A and B are shown apart, each in its own frame.
Chain A
Amino acid sequence: MIGHFFEYEFLRNTFYTGLLIGLIAPLLGTFVVVRRLSLIADALSHVTLAGIAFGLLLEKKFALGLSPFYTGMGFSVMASAFVEQLRRVYKAYQELAIPIILSGGVALSVVFISVANGFNTDLYNYLFGSVSAVSRQDLWSILAITIIVLIVITLFFKELFTLSFDEEHAVVSGIHAKRIHFLFIVVTALVIAASIRIVGVLLVSALMTLPVAASIRIANGFKQTMFLSVIFGEISVIIGLVAGYYFEIPPGGTIVLTSILLLLLSILIKRIKFNRARKRAIQ
C-alpha cells in the first residue's frame, strides 16, 4: 500500500511534503500552544484561504501563472503582521485579534470566490487537503520553508522559550520581545501556508496543536514535549496519508483523526502511569 507512494511521482512529492510538515507544524505548534495562540493559527489559516481564493481568481480571470500557494502565503504573512498590531492596540482584549482576522479572512474568501463565479474541485482540495495536489515545485518551496523554520527555531530557541514562559521577565532581562514576537508569528504564517496543501485550511491548526496536546502531559519539560510532538505529528501524517489514499478520503481528515487517536492514547497512558504510581505509594 505504502509502496504506491514511491512508485508515482505525485505521491512521492506528497509523502515527502507530509514528512516535512509533520516535523515543522508540531515543532512550532509547541510554542503556539504554550503561548495560548492556538486560535491565532486558525485565524491565519482562514486568511490563507482568502489568499488562495485570490490566486485562483487571478488564474481564472487573468490567466496569471502565480500559484495560489504563493498568494496564500503572502496573505498569511501580511495577516500575521496585522495580528501583532491588533494585539498591541487591544492590549486588554488580545483574543479579539482572532475573530477580527478570522472573519476578515472568510469574508474576503467569499468575495473572491463569488467574483470568480465559483471554482471547481481545486478549492475543495484546499479546504481539506489532497494527496495529489503537491507538485515538484511545491515540494521545493515547502523544503525551503522547512529550512527557514528550522534555522529560526534553532537560533532563537532560548528567546522564544523564555518569552513564552514569562514575557515581563524576558523583557526585563533585555530580550527584544517585539522583534522575536514578529519573527515567530511570520514563521507561523509560513508553516500554515506550507501545511495547507496536505491537511487543508480547516484542519491546519489541528496538526500544529493536537500532537502537542498529546505530548504535553506525558513529557517532562519543554524539549521533551517538542520531541514527542514531532513523533506524534509524523505518525499522524504517515498513517493519515496512507489511509487517505487507500480510502480516497482527503488526507486532512485522516491525519487529524489519527492525531486525535494518539491524543486519546496518551491520556490513557497517563492515567495508567498515574494509577500505578498511586498503587506503589499506597503499598
Chain B
Amino acid sequence: MSNPIVTMKNVSYAYDNKPTLKDINFEIQRGSFLGLVGPNGGGKTTLIKLLLGLHKPQNGSIQLFGTPIQKFKDWNKIGFVSQKANTFNRGFPATVSEVVSMGLTAKVGYMKFFNQSHKKQIEKAVSQVGMSDYLHENIGDLSGGQQQRIFIARALVSNPDLLILDEPTVGVDTENVQKFYELLHLLNDENGITLLLITHDTGTMTHHATDIACLNKTLHFHGNPSQYTQLSEQDLSAFYGHQLNVVSHHH
C-alpha cells in the first residue's frame, strides 16, 4: 500500500556545469517521518530546492501529490523552513503574529485581506509551537530556538500536508533540541503531517524518523532506521568517504 506524496524519477541536477545530484529515484510516503542525512555539500538543500520548484532538474521528473511539478499549484500543501530561516535581519520590525501571518499570504491571495478566521489560524499555529505568550513580541527579541519555532509556525499556519525542515536544529541548544523533536512527533502522530527533516545529525535521526535516506550526490540508502543501523562500516565509509560506490536501495 504505497501512497507517495513526493516522487522523484531519475532526477539529475547541476549548478552551471557542476553536477550536484545524479540520478535520484525517491519517494516520500504520506504520514512518514523521513530523515534526509548526508555530509555537508552532499546536495540535501539542492534536492529540497528541486522539490519546491526553486530549481528545475536537467533530467528526470518530479511529482507532488500525484501532479507533475510543472502543473502543481497547491503550494500551501507544503510548509518549508529554510536552512537560512534564522539568518533573517534581526532588526526587522515584525511581531510574532505578523511573521506567522506571512505563511498565509499566498493562500489568502492577491488583493484580499486577512479576516477574523485567519487571525484564529495564526493564533492556533503559534500555540501549536508553544509560543502563545509571545504573540505580540518583536521577532528579533526572541532566542534562536524560539525564532525557529516561530518559523515552524509560519510553515504550519497554511495547514500543510508536508512539512520540510532544512537543518532546523543548527544553533539550538541540546535541551531545546529534545523539545523540538517532541514537537515534531506531535505534528507527525497527532496531526498526521508528513515530515521531511534534513540534518547531518545521523545518530539522533535513528531514534525519531520512520525512514532514513542518505544523500551524497546520489542516494546511497533509503530504508528504515533498523536497516540503517545494520549498515556495515564499509557501506558508511563509502557513503561519507571519497569513493562513491553506489549501494543499491529498495523502496
Give bound CA distance, A130 to B225, whole Å: 74
Tell me whether B52 and A225 are in contact (CB under 8 A).
Answer: no
**A34 to B98 alpha-carbon distance, docked (Å):** 14
CB–CB A34/B101 < 8 A: no
Complex contacts, A224 vs chain B, CB 8 Å? 93
Say yes or no: A156-B111 contact (C-beta < 8 A), given A173-B75, A174-B75, A216-B93.
Answer: yes
Residue of A155, A170, A222 near B105 (CB, 8 A) is A170
Q: How many whole Å from A4's CB to the nearest CB in chain B?
A: 38
CB of B188 within 8 Å of the partner chain: no
The closest CB in chain B to the CB of A225 belongs to B93
CA distance A217 to B32 in the complex (A): 44
Interface flag for A96 (CB, 8 Å):
no
**Is A66 in the interface zone, CB < 8 Å from B?**
no
Are B106's CB and A168's CB within 8 A? no
Stretch in B22-30, B80-88, B179-187, B195-203 with 4+ CB within 8 Å of A: B80-88
With a CB–CB cut-off of 8 A, which chain B residues contact A274?
none
- Give the complex CA separation of A34 and B140 in angstroms: 13
Determine which of B84, B94, B107, B114 lies in contact with A222 in the assembled complex, contact meaning CB atoms within 8 Å.
B94
Q: Across the interface, which residues of A come within 8 angstroms of B88, CB to CB?
A: 165-166
B52, B98, B103: residue with the most chain A Cβ atoms closer than 10 Å: B98
B80, B94, B102, B113: the one contacting A221 at CB < 8 Å is B94
- Indicate if A138 sits at the interface (CB-CB under 8 A): no
Flag whether B210 is at the interface (Cβ < 8 A). Answer: no
Question: Is A34 within 8 A of B106, CB to CB?
Answer: no
Whether the pair B99, A168 counts as a contact (CB closer than 8 A) is no
A211 to chain B, nearest CB (A): 13
Is the beta-carbon distance between A173 and B138 smaller than 8 angstroms?
A: no
User: On chain B, which size bracket covers the interface?
Assistant: 35 or more
Let me know if B110 is at the binding interface, CB within 8 A: yes
Contact A172 B80 (CB under 8 A): yes
Find out whether the CB atom of B102 lies under 8 angstroms from the CB atom of A216: no
Contact A161 B136 (CB under 8 A): no
* Most central of A170, A172, A216, A220 by chain B CB within 10 Å: A172
Check: B89 CB closer than 8 A to any chain A CB: yes
Q: B121 at interface (Cβ–Cβ under 8 A)? A: no
B54 interface neighbour in A34, A165, A172, Cβ under 8 Å = A172
Q: Scoring A residues 145 to 160 as 1 if CB is less than 8 Å from chain B, else 0, what string do you get? A: 0000000000110110
Contacts of B158 in A (CB 8 A): 173
Partner of B106, one of A174, A221, A222, A223: A174
Report how far A224 CA is from B158 CA in the complex, Å: 25
Residue ID in chain B nearest A173 by CB atoms: B106
A219 within 8 A of B: yes
Interface size on A, residues (CB 8 A): 27
- Asked whether B76 is an interface residue with its Cβ less than 8 Å from the other chain, the reply is yes
Determine how close the nearest CB of chain B comes to the CB of A174; give it in whole angstroms: 4
A175 to B106, CA, bound (A): 6
Residue of B nearest to A218 (CB): B93
- A205 CB, nearest partner CB in chain B, Å: 19
Contact A165 B105 (CB under 8 A): no
Which residues of A have CB within 8 Å of B54? Answer: 168, 171-172
Query: Known: A158-B101, A159-B105, A166-B88. Is A220-B138 also a contact (CB below 8 A)?
Result: yes
Residues in B whose Cβ lies below 8 Å from that of A164: 92
Q: Report the Cα distance A174→B74, complex, angstroms.
A: 9
- B94, A159: Cβ atoms closer than 8 Å: no
Query: Contact partner of B93 among A159, A162, A170, A222, CB < 8 A?
Result: A222
Instruction: Please give, as numbers and ranges, the residues of chain A lying within 8 Å of B63 by CB-CB distance.
Output: none
B32 CB to closest chain A CB, in angstroms? Answer: 21
Chain A residues in 8 Å Cβ range of B113: 158
Q: Does A169 contact B (CB under 8 A)?
A: yes
User: Are A173 and B136 also in contact (CB < 8 A) when A156-B111, A166-B85 are?
Assistant: no
Contact across chains for A156 and B93 when beta carbons are under 8 A apart = no
Taking the closest CB of chain B, its distance from the CB of A212, in whole angstroms, is 9
Q: Which residues of B sit under 8 angstroms from A171, Cβ to Cβ?
A: 54
List chain A positions with a Cβ less than 8 A from chain B: 34, 36, 155-156, 158-159, 161-162, 164-166, 168-175, 216, 219-225
Can you list 15 pairs linking A and B with CB atoms under 8 Å apart? A158-B102, A161-B94, A161-B98, A162-B102, A162-B105, A165-B88, A169-B80, A172-B75, A173-B76, A173-B158, A220-B136, A221-B97, A223-B98, A224-B93, A225-B93
Apart from A158-B102, A221-B136, what are 12 other A-B pairs with CB-CB below 8 Å? Answer: A158-B105, A159-B105, A161-B98, A169-B85, A170-B102, A172-B53, A172-B75, A172-B80, A216-B93, A220-B93, A220-B136, A221-B98
